């Protein structure tokens, strides 16, 4: 075997290769040692993958929130821009209105100037003719009626001109007041637009930050996903190597059996017992399955289902020989039994063990007690069945 995993194992793998060629007395212990290392590596990768999966899920959740935040910022930016556009339109309308008012003021000013000049010319003409005073006009009247008519006419002209000038002046003052009001409104709108533009700049900065964070999240997700894929590949490789370990183990047992007994196969590793796959349930009285068999969990977890299962005896599913009985950081306290005939079983997360490696056990014998050691979320039994080293669904042997 070649690859990263074997490079990491180094000397233990060499021991495995040598063990395949040595006598019966030393082969089993070397293989058992290597199996523990392989199982530990697989468990390490499994735990590492769980951690990366959790991290990936967290990043995806953050990414979703960050995207919602960015979408909200975009909507707010659009809203502010619409307000700015509306204020710009108001300012343009006010500018046009002010221009119209200025033109109207200029036109009325021209009318005032023209009427004043006309009045001046008329008064000047009267003066030049010698009739520049009311007294002179009265004295030159031919009769009282003529005098009254001239005074009336003079008063009408003067009153007309005065009213016209007063009206034009009032109109000009009103337009000037309106222009001042529009100018004031224009200043207010311009100030509001400046404020909105400032807010727009601030939002643009926040939006840029949100995009940067979102980009980092995308990169983080990609990085974690790549790491998760790498771990999954290593985990699959480790599983395949453990499967191969069992195949080699059974091949060695068969070879040893052939050499020692002339053809009896599948019995030496199990202490002479050959299983037919007629298993007994490993936790009598408890049948609740908290996690079933799947491609990601090639075992079944037997739990209390609301009842206290901690400390309940775990029994051997069939007779055989204990291959491993030790502690593993992921499996916790676990036992593995070779039943012969290509069958083996594994029992993990026990609170304590009742057997040791190399011990022969009988079907239904207590080998451990249910616990929650290792990577466990609560008291349960992690139960595996292997055929020629390959994990199978335990329910293939239980109804």
Q: What is the structure's pLDDT at 137?
A: 62
Q: Of 108-122, 306-320, 353-367, which range is least confident?
A: 108-122
Structure tokens at 333: 């306290």
For residue 126, give every residue at least 6 positions away whose Cβ sits within 8 Å of its Cβ, in sequence order, or none.
132
CA 254 to chain centre: 54
pLDDT of residue 131: 45
β-sheet bridge partners, residue 303: 288, 380
Token couple for 145: 């009626």
52 pLDDT band, cuts 50/70/90, is: low
Judged by average pLDDT, the poorest of 16-20, 31-35, 147-151, 306-310 is 16-20
Mean pLDDT of 160-178: 74
Which of 100-114, 190-204, 345-359 has the highest average model confidence (pLDDT)?
345-359
CA distance 299 to 346: 9
Stretch 138-159: mean pLDDT: 68
Question: What is the C-alpha separation between 179 and 157, in angstroms, rounded?
Answer: 32
326's enclosing H/E stretch is strand 320-328
Check pLDDT > 50 for residue 265.
no
In whole numbers, what is the pLDDT of the chain averaged over residues?
Answer: 74
Q: 41 vs 8, which has greater pLDDT?
A: 41
Phi-psi region of 342 (alpha: psi -120 to 50; beta: other; left: phi over 0): left
Report phi then psi at 331, rounded to 5: -75, -15
pLDDT at 139 over 50: yes
- Domains in the chain (CATH in brackets) are 1-265 (1.10.287.2610), 266-399 (2.70.70.10)
Inter-helix orientation angle 11-19/144-261, to 10°: 40
Summarize the confidence of residues 312-338 as an average pLDDT: 91
Where is average pLDDT lowest: 202-206, 247-251, 292-296, 341-345? 202-206
More confident residue, 121 or 141: 121
pTM exceeds cut of 0.85 = no
**Spatial contact of 220 and 59, defined as CB atoms under 8 Å apart:** yes
Decide if pLDDT at 286 tops 80.
yes
Which residues have a Cβ under 8 Å from the Cβ of 24 and sit 6 or more positions away?
A: 256, 259, 260, 268
Which stretch of 138-142, 177-181, 271-275 has the lowest confidence by average pLDDT? 138-142
pLDDT at 312: 93
Task: State the pLDDT at residue 243.
Answer: 73
What is the CB neighbour count within 10 angstroms for residue 245? 20
342 close to 336: Cβ distance less than 8 angstroms? no
Give the pair of three-digit tokens for residue 88: 């710009």
Q: Is the pLDDT of residue 316 over 80?
A: yes
């Amino acid at each position: 075997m070649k690859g990263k995993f074997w490079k990491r194992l180094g000397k233990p793998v060499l021991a495995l290769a040598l063990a395949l060629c040595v006598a019966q007395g030393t082969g089993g212990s070397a293989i058992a040692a290597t199996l523990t290392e392989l199982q530990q590596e697989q468990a390490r990768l499994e735990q590492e993958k769980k951690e990366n999966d959790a991290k990936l899920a967290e990043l995806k959740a953050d990414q979703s929130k960050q995207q919602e935040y960015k979408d909200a910022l975009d909507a707010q930016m659009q809203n502010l821009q619409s307000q700015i556009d509306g204020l710009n339109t108001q300012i343009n309308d006010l500018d046009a209105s002010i221009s119209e008012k200025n033109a109207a003021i200029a036109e009325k000013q021209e009318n005032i100037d023209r009427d004043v000049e006309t009045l001046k010319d008329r008064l000047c003409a009267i003066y030049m003719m010698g009739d520049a005073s009311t007294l002179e006009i009265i004295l030159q009247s031919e009769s009282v009626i003529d005098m009254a008519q001239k005074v009336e006419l003079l008063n009408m002209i003067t009153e007309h001109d005065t009213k016209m000038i007063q009206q034009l002046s009032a109109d000009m003052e009103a337009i000037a007041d309106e222009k001042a009001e529009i100018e004031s409104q224009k200043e207010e709108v311009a100030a509001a637009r400046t404020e909105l533009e400032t807010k727009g700049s601030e939002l643009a900065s926040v939006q840029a930050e949100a995009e940067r964070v979102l980009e980092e999240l995308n990169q983080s997700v990609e990085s974690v996903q790549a790491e998760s894929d790498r771990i999954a590949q290593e985990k699959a490789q480790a599983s395949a190597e453990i499967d191969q370990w069992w195949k080699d183990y059974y091949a060695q047992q068969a070879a040893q059996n052939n050499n020692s007994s002339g053809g009896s196969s599948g019995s030496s590793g199990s202490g002479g017992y050959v299983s037919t796959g007629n298993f007994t349930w490993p936790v009598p009285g408890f049948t609740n399955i908290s996690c079933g068999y799947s491609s990601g969990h090639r075992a079944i977890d037997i739990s209390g289902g609301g009842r206290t299962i901690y400390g309940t005896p775990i029994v051997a599913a069939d007779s055989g020989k204990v291959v491993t009985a030790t502690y593993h950081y992921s499996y916790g306290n676990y036992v593995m039994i070779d039943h012969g005939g290509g069958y083996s079983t594994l029992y993990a997360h026990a609170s304590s063990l009742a057997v040791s490696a190399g011990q022969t056990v009988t079907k239904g014998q207590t080998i451990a007690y249910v616990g929650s050691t290792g990577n466990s979320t609560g008291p349960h039994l992690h139960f595996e069945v292997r055929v020629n080293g390959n994990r199978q669904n335990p329910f293939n042997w239980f109804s």
